[in-house]
Structure 1
Amino acid sequence: MWKHIAANALTLGIVVIVCLAGLVQLGKSRWAEPGPLAEAAFFEVPRGANLDRVSVALARDGIVSSDSIFRIGTKYAERDRDLKFGTYEIPAGASMPEVLDIITAGGPSVFPYTVTYLLRARGPEVRVRERVPGQDAPVEVATFAPGVDATPEAYTDLVARGVPITWRVSVAPGLTSWEVVEGLKGADFLEGVDGLVVPPEGSLAPDTYDVARGSDAGDLLQRMRVAQERILAEAWAARVPGLPLETPQEALTLASIIEKETGVAEERRLVSAVFVNRLNQGMRLQTDPTVIYGITNGQGGLGRGLRRSELDRTTPYNTYRIDGLPPGPIANPSAAAIRAAMDPEETDFIFFVADGTGGHAFAETLAEHNRNVAAWRAIEAARQSTSGN
C-alpha cells in the first residue's frame, strides 16, 4: 500500500511540476509578447506610486494584458524600485519589458499639451500645441499675441481644467534685455513679473526654457544668465589666436553686433571676419545696429530708417564716428553668434551689403563693394516701383 501511495504522490508531484512549468512558460510568453494597446497613449506614474498601483493602472488602461504578470516580471528583473514619476508616451503594441523600460527611464514628462511663450522683437506670442500619441507632429490648438488678441477659449479651458501642460519660454536671439523683461510681463503663468530688474545687456542666453506654472520670472532670468556665462566662458577658452579682443565682454559685444547684422547661419563667421578684419586694420565698424541702439537704449526698435543727422552725431554707440567696439553689447546674442565672434572665417572681406535674398554680398575692395551697393539699390528701387503700382 505504501508503495502505491508513494507512486501516486510522485505522479501528483510530477503533474504539479509540469503545471508550474507550463504556467511559468505561459507567463514568460505573455511577458514578452506584444501588448494589447491598439493606439499609442499617455500614461502617468504618480509621484510616490508603488509597483502594485502602477501595475493595476497599466492593466486598467489596456497597456498590459495582466497586472500580476507585469508585477511578477518587474520583481524578477529586480526593477520594482526603479519606477520614475512622470507622464510617458507608450507606443501601440508595446510589450511588458518595453513598457517597463519606458516608465523607469525617467527624463522629461511628455504631457499632452505644450504652451510655448515666444519672446520676439515684434512682441510675445503664445502657441498652444497638442501632442497626439503616435504622431510626430503636434496639432495646433491656438496661437495668439497676449495683450493684442483675445485669449482663446481653448487656452483658458485647458488651464481651468488643470490639464497636464508643459510650459516653455522661448527667447529669440537678438532681443535686448529690456525687450526680454517687457515680454515676460505678459506671461500669465509666471510669478514676480512686475518686480523684474533689467539684467545687463547681452547677459541672457536666447533659448527655450521649460518652466513650471507659477514659477518665479526672476529665477528664469537667472537661469538665462548662468547659461550665457557658461556659453561665453567655453567659447572664450576655445577662441582662435590673434583676435583683436582683450576680454570676454568685448567678445560678447562683437557677438551681439553679428547677431543683429545677420540671421543667416552660414554668414555669421563671414560677418565676424569683416568686423575682425576692420578692427585689425584700424577701420571703423560702421554698423547701423549699434547706432540704433545708441538712439533707443535697447528699448524697442527704431521703427524707421536712420537719418543722416543720426549717423553724423557722435555717441558711444555710433560706430561711424568712434573707433573700435562700442562700450558694451547691443543685444543678447545666441551661442552660435558668440562662437562666430571667436572663430571668424579666414577671409580678407572688409565690406558687406544686403543682396536682396535675405543674405549679404561680401567684398574685399571698395570698388567691388560699390558695385554690390549699386546692385542692392537697384533691387530696392525695383521693389519700391512694384509696391507703388
Structure 2
Amino acid sequence: MTEREDREPERSHYIVRGIKRLFALVVVVALLAVGGVGYGWHLFVKEGPLDDARQLVIPRGASIDQIADALAKEGVIESRFVFVNWVRVLGTQSRLRAGEYRFPKRVSAQDTMNILISGRQIQRRFTIPEGLTTYQVLERVKKVEGLEGELTETAGEGELLPDTYTFTLGETRNGVVQRMKRAMEDALDQAWAQRAGTDGPLKDKRELLILASIVEKETGEGAERPMVAGVFVNRLKKNMRLETDPTVIYGITEGKGALGRRLLRSDLEKPHPYNTYKIQGLPPGPIANPGKASLLATIKPAQHNYIYFVADGSGGHVFAETLDQHNKNVAKWRQFRREKERDEKNDKPEKKQN
C-alpha cells in the first residue's frame, strides 16, 4: 500500500467531520433565526404597556415611522422597532388609516395595527333639539368641535332634521348639514306615507312641514302634539284662522332668536305674512325645524272636536270646543300668571337705601 493510499481514509474522515460541523452550524443559525423571529412575534402580540385607554389622532399622510413614533410617545406600543418591522413584514403599512382612535388598556402592537387598519374611529356626536330655526341650527354647527371647514352650505327654514348626529374628526361642516337635509327629506317622506286618505286639509309635504313646525313650537309635551295638531286641523277644516302666537313671533324675529319680551296685543294687529291672526290658512313657510314626532303627530292628529287651547300653567295646555269655555280657560291662565308674577316680585330682596 502506498503512502497516498494510507492517507485517503484520514482525508475522508476530515471531510465528513467538516460537513457535520457545517451542518451543525447551519442548524444552529437556523434555530437562532427561528428563535429570533419567534421572540419578535411574541413582542408583537403580547400585552402592551398602556395602563389606561387612550385616544390618539393619526394625521393624514403620516408615514409608518411617524405613526410608530406617535404610538410609542403616547405609550401605546413598547417598541417602535417591533411595530414598524412587523407591519412591513405583513405588508399592511399602506392600509393604516388616519383618524382619531381609542386604544384600549394593554392593547398589543398587533391589535394596535388592526385598529388602524379597521378605520373604526372615535364617533363624536352633537344634538340638535327640536324647534330651533335654521339660523339657530347653523350657528350651532359652526361651533361644533371636531368639524372642519367654513360653513357655506345653506338651508331653508324647516329643512334640517333635529336629531343626534355622529361624525368622525375631520368631517366637514358642509357635509354634516347636507346629511341633515337628507334626513329631513327622508323623515318627511316617511311621515307623508302614513297619511290616512286624501281628504285632509294638507295638500302636500310642504304644508305638512309648515304645520308640523307650528305644532313643534306650540308644545314641548310629546303626548300633547297629536292634540295640538288636531286643533289646527279642525280650524283649517272650518276655514278658521290658526291664530297661533309662535308664527307672529317668527314674523317679528325672522327666526334669529327669542323675542325677549311678552307678545303684545299690538303685535297681533300688525299685518305680515306670518301673522296667523290676520291671514287665512297656513303661513308661507315653516317657522322652525320640527322633529319626527311632530311630523307624525301632524299627519296623524288626534280625532276630537277641540278648536281652542291655552297654557294651563303646568307646562301643558287645556283644550276647549267652544269660545265661551276657552275664554274661561284664558281667564284662569291670566290669573295664574298674575299670581306667579306677584310671588316672584315678593321673593326678590329689597334694595338697601343709601
TM-score by length of 2: 0.70
C-alpha displacement of 1:370? 6.5
CA pair 281-77 structure 1, distance change in 2 beyond 3 A = farther
C-alpha displacement of 1:64? 1.1
C-alpha displacement of 1:362? 5.0
CA pair 235-273 structure 1, distance change in 2 beyond 3 A = farther
CA pair 22-303 structure 1, distance change in 2 beyond 3 A = same
Contact persistence 1:270–1:344 (CA under 8 A): no
2:181 and 2:264 mapped to 1: Cα distance?
A: 36
Letter in 2 for 1:336: K
CA pair 363-200 structure 1, distance change in 2 beyond 3 A = same
Letter in 1 for 2:111: E
Give 1:58's match in structure 2, choosing from 57, 71, 96.
71
- In structure 2, what is the equivalent of residue 305 of structure 1? 262
Contact persistence 2:127–2:162 (CA under 8 A): yes
Does the residue aligned with 1:8 lie in a helix, a strand or coil?
helix
Q: Greater CA deviation, 276-285 or 79-88?
A: 276-285
Q: Does 1:290 align with 2:290?
A: no
- In structure 1, what is the equivalent of residue 34 of structure 2? 21
Contact persistence 1:236–1:342 (CA under 8 A): no
Q: Does 1:251 align with 2:208?
A: yes
Contact persistence 1:232–1:252 (CA under 8 A): no
| Structure 1 unaligned regions, length at least 5 | 111-165
Q: Does 1:43 align with 2:56?
A: yes
Letter in 2 for 1:90: F
Identity over aligned residues, as a percent? 36
- In structure 1, what is the equivalent of residue 114 of structure 2? 101
1:179 and 1:70 mapped to 2: Cα distance?
A: 48
Output the aligned Cα RMSD. Answer: 4.3
Letter in 1 for 2:21: N
- In structure 2, what is the equivalent of residue 90 of structure 1? 103
C-alpha displacement of 1:261? 1.6
- In structure 2, what is the equivalent of residue 231 of structure 1? 183
Deviations 1:282-319 (A, max 9, x none): 44322111122334444544333233344355543232
C-alpha displacement of 1:373? 4.8
Contact persistence 2:60–2:98 (CA under 8 A): yes
Letter in 2 for 1:235: A
1:94 and 1:223 mapped to 2: Cα distance?
A: 32
1:79 and 1:291 mapped to 2: Cα distance?
A: 62
1:19 and 1:109 mapped to 2: Cα distance?
A: 42
Number of residue pairs matched? 322
- In structure 2, what is the equivalent of residue 353 of structure 1? 310
C-alpha displacement of 1:383? 1.6
Contact persistence 2:131–2:291 (CA under 8 A): no
- In structure 1, what is the equivalent of residue 296 of structure 2? 340
1:185 and 1:26 mapped to 2: Cα distance?
A: 51
Deviations 1:3-60 (A, max 9, x none): 3233333333333343333333323332222211234444343332222332244334
| Structure 2 unaligned regions, length at least 5 | 1-12, 347-354
Q: Of the two, which has the highest radius of gyration?
A: 2
1:5-20 → structure 2 map (5 Å cutoff) = 5-20=18-33
The higher-RCO structure (CA 8 Å, 6+ apart) is: 2
Larger proportion of helix? 2
1:302 and 1:170 mapped to 2: Cα distance?
A: 23
2:208 and 2:345 mapped to 1: Cα distance?
A: 43
